[in-house]
Amino acid sequence: MKNKVVIITGASSGIGKALAFAFGKEGAKIVITGRKQAPLIEVSEALTNQGIDNLAIVSDVSIEDDNKKMVAQTINKYGKIDILINNAGISMRAMFEDCDVNVIKTLMDINFYGTVYATKYALPYIKATKGTIVGVSSIAGYRGLPVRSGYSASKFAMNGFLEALRTELLHTGVHVLTACPGFTASNIRVASLGADGTSKGDSMRDEGKMMSSEEVADRILKAVKKRDRDMVLTLQGKMAVWVNKLFPSLADKLVYNALAKEKDSPLKKNV
């Protein structure tokens, strides 16, 4: 990673922040983006204090022009792009029948179109360096999760986009990684949207029993170094993908029962 230029979207907290430190400690030059200036600058200062060369860009991935400017600013400062990590994302918690459709549009704009926009403008530079494109997706991109229909849709879309892109770039030397953490202790659930589009402000799950953002970041770093095609984390995540592929009807029941146990779940228990 020495002197590699790495763009990480959504890097003001959680997995994105952890990725900035993981790649930075390996000698990479880090470009971090986020919508909120204050936490982004805080991360930038912490990186600088650890001797990590970095550039903080206030940017909203759901706005196409912001992505264009992000790439231009990166090239202006560092002259190249080696790795793009599409990490910015948002979740939701609501039954579809109760959900304002604009909530689902918001998730698609950030989780899917954010990946599309950033990748579109960074791709020529990544082709030049034979670099890497990473999509931080989710188990929900393999197996639809109840109460998270919009999130699942956006991650399925991301997975399909990355798979198609990987195939298009098969003979170019560009590496495309689809990274799918399981439930991770980060602020994505606290910031997740409810049926009316406002933040829920709490988590439905026990964060202490989840994989940490730092552990996820370290695993993604290793997968980038090895130029892996896919990365599915946690035993629960691997089982969900495997059972859904081989026994989809059983997976429906298992997923329903598991998520019905979440705090304040709208799913009926013991059906």
Give the contacts of 207 (CB within 8 A, at least 6 positions apart). 185
Distance separating alpha carbons of residues 222 and 231, to the nearest angstrom = 10
253 neighbors 152 (Cβ within 8 angstroms):
no
Q: What angle do CA 114, 90, 123 make, to 5 degrees?
A: 20
Among the listed residues 186, 132, 113, 162, the one whose alpha carbon sits nearest the alpha carbon of residue 7: 132
Distance separating alpha carbons of residues 3 and 88, to the nearest angstrom = 23
Among the listed residues 20, 26, 32, the one whose alpha carbon sits nearest the alpha carbon of residue 4: 26
Distance separating alpha carbons of residues 103 and 191, to the nearest angstrom = 13
Catalytic pick among 113, 121, 142, 151: 151
Q: What is the DSSP string of 77-144?
A: HHS---EEEE-----B-S-GGGS-HHHHHHHIIIIIIHHHHHHHHHHHHHHHHT-EEEEE--GGGTS-
User: Is 117 a catalytic site residue?
Assistant: no
26 neighbors 2 (Cβ within 8 angstroms):
yes
Q: What is the DSSP string of 28-46?
A: -EEEEEES-HHHHHHHHHH
- Active-site residue numbers? 151
